[in-house]
C-alpha cells in the first residue's frame, strides 16, 4: 500500500484510510471513540482545548502514525488540510459541576462550536454526528423517554445552559441537513460510565466510587428514590459508531434501559468496592430529573444495538481505574 508523506496540517497517513475528526477527542468519551476508530482502520484527528479533557486520556496513542492531536477551541475556525470523511462533534462540558462553573463556554460550544464543526463537514463533504444528551428531555413527564418526546426543560434554570446548548445544537444540525444536504446524525446519550471519567467531575458514578474508596459517606441528593440507568462506555461508543454508519438523520437514544434508584446504586457501589461507607442525604438540586431511562426501541430496530456489558462487570473495570486515582 502506497502511503503519503505526512505534511504539516495533513489529516491522513494513507489515501485509503477514512479520516475522522473528533472534537472533544481528549475527553472521557471522545478518547474511547478515538480508540475504536483507530481499531477499525480510521486515521483520527482529535481536537480539544483541554478545559475538561486531558492528554492523559490519549497518552497511549502518542507515536501512533494514524493519530493526531490538535489543541484548539472548537468555537474558533477549524481548518484542516486534506480529506475528512467523518466529523464527530463530542466537544462540550458534560457534568453538572463543569457546566455550572462554565455556563457561557457550555453555551458557546453548543452553538458556535457546533456551527464551526458543521462548517468543516460542509467544506469537506463529510458525514457529521453530534452527541446530544438525555438532558434535552429535562425533568421528564413521560417515562421512559422516546425520541418523540419534546421534553420538560427550564430554560432559565441552572442546568439550562447545558440543556439549551444541546437543544439548539440539534436544531442547527437539522438546519444544515435540510439546507445544505449534509448527512447528519444525532445521538442522545444517557448516563454513561467507565474508565477515564474525572474523579471530581460531579457525576454520580465517580462521586459514589470516589467516596466509597476513600471511606467517606456516600452523598445522595433528595430521598434517593430518583432513578437513573447506566450504560458502559464501550457499549455506548459501539452504538454511536453504528449510528454514524447508518442511514438515519433522526435523533436516536443510546443508553441502558436498566433503571435503578440512587439508593440502590449506592448499595451496589458499596458492595463492589467493599467499602464501609454509609449513605448521607443532602437537598435535591434545582431541576434535577426525578426519572431518567431511555426508550431504545429505535436503536434496536435501526442499529441492531443494545447494551451488552452488565453493571457488575462495568463497575469492576471502572473501580479498578479509580483506585489508581484516589
Q: How confident is the model at residue 9 (pLDDT cuts 50, 70, 90)?
A: very low
SS3 (DSSP) at 276: coil
Find, among 291, 230, 288, the residue nearest to 257 by Cα.
230
Q: What is the pLDDT of residues 21-62, one digit of tens each?
A: 999 999 999 999 999 999 999 999 999 999 999 999 999 999
Q: Let me know if 162 is a catalytic residue.
A: yes
Counting residues of the chain whose pLDDT is more than 70, the rounded percentage is 95
pLDDT at 291: 80
Predicted local confidence at residue 286, as pLDDT: 73
Would you call 189 helix, strand, or coil by DSSP? strand
The pLDDT of residue 15: 59
Cell 460542509 belongs to residue: 122
Range 253-263 average pLDDT: 95
Q: Which residue is catalytic, options 86, 99, 162, 176?
A: 162
Give residue 290's pLDDT.
78
Model confidence over 91-140: pLDDT tens digits? 999 888 898 899 999 999 999 999 999 999 999 999 999 999 999 999 89
pLDDT, position 45: 98
pTM of the model: 0.92
Query: What confidence score (pLDDT) does residue 199 get?
Result: 87
Considering only residues 26 and 282, tell me which one the structure prediction assigns the higher pLDDT.
Answer: 26
Hey, how many other C-beta atoms are within 10 angstroms of the C-beta on 284? 14
Per-domain boundaries in the chain: 19-193+231-258+294-308
Average pLDDT, the chain: 92
Q: Which residue has the higher pLDDT, 8 or 294?
A: 294
3-state class (DSSP) for residue 220:
strand
> pLDDT band at residue 202, thresholds of 50, 70 and 90?
confident
Alpha helices for the chain (secondary structure H): 28-39, 96-101, 103-108, 114-124, 160-180, 204-213, 233-244, 262-273, 297-303, 311-323
The pLDDT of 283-288, averaged and rounded, is 74
- CA 119/CA 124 separation, integer angstroms: 9
DSSP H helices in 181-252:
204-213, 233-244
pLDDT tens profile 206-248 = 999 999 999 999 999 888 888 899 999 999 999 999 999 999 9
Strand partners, 46: 22, 69
267 contacts 212 by C-beta, under 8 angstroms: no
Sign (positive or negative) of CA dihedral 164, 165, 169, 175: positive
Q: How many CB atoms lie within 10 A of CB 143?
A: 15
In the predicted structure, residue 1 carries a pLDDT above the cut 50: no
Q: Name the percent of the chain lying above pLDDT 90.
A: 83
Strands 259-261 and 227-229: antiparallel
DSSP state for residue 77 in the 8-state scheme:
P
Strands (E) located in 49-203: 67-71, 86-89, 127-133, 184-189, 192-193
Q: Which CATH code for domain 19-193+231-258+294-308?
A: 3.40.50.720
Amino acid at each position: 500500500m502506497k502511503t503519503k508523506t505526512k505534511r504539516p496540517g495533513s489529516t491522513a497517513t494513507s489515501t485509503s484510510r477514512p479520516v475522522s475528526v473528533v472534537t472533544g477527542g481528549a475527553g472521557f468519551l471522545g478518547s474511547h471513540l478515538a480508540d475504536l476508530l483507530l481499531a477499525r482502520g480510521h486515521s483520527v484527528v482529535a481536537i480539544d482545548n483541554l478545559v475538561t479533557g486531558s492528554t492523559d486520556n490519549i497518552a497511549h496513542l502518542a507515536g501512533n502514525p494514524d493519530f493526531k492531536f490538535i489543541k484548539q477551541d472548537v468555537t474558533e475556525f477549524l481548518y484542516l488540510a486534506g480529506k475528512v470523511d467523518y466529523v464527530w462533534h463530542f466537544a462540550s462540558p458534560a457534568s453538572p459541576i463543569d457546566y455550572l462553573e462554565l455556563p457561557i463556554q457550555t453555551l458557546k460550544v453548543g452553538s458556535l462550536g457546533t456551527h464551526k464543526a458543521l462548517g468543516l463537514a460542509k467544506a469537506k463533504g463529510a458525514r457529521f454526528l453530534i452527541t446530544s444528551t438525555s438532558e434535552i428531555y429535562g425533568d421528564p413527564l413521560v417515562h421512559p423517554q422516546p425520541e418523540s418526546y419534546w421534553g420538560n426543560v427550564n430554560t432559565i434554570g441552572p442546568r439550562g445552559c447545558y440543556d439549551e446548548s444541546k437543544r439548539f445544537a440539534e436544531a442547527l444540525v437539522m438546519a444544515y441537513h435540510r439546507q445544505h444536504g449534509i448527512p447528519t446524525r444525532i445521538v442522545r446519550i444517557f448516563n454513561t460510565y467507565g474508565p477515564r471519567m474525572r474523579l471530581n467531575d460531579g457525576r454520580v458514578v465517580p462521586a459514589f466510587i470516589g467516596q466509597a474508596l476513600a471511606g467517606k459517606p456516600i452523598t445522595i441528593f433528595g430521598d434517593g428514590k430518583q432513578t437513573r440507568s447506566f450504560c458502559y462506555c464501550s457499549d455506548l461508543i459501539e452504538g454511536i459508531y453504528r449510528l454514524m454508519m447508518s442511514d438515519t438523520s433522526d435523533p436516536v437514544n443510546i443508553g441502558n434501559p436498566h433503571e435503578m434508584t440512587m439508593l440502590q446504586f449506592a448499595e451496589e457501589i458499596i458492595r463492589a468496592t467493599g467499602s464501609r461507607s454509609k449513605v448521607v442525604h443532602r437537598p435535591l438540586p434545582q431541576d434535577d430529573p426525578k426519572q431518567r431511562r431511555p426508550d431504545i426501541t429505535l436503536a434496536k430496530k435501526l442499529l441492531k444495538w443494545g447494551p451488552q456489558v452488565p453493571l457488575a462487570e462495568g463497575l469492576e473495570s471502572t473501580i479498578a481505574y479509580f483506585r489508581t486515582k484516589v
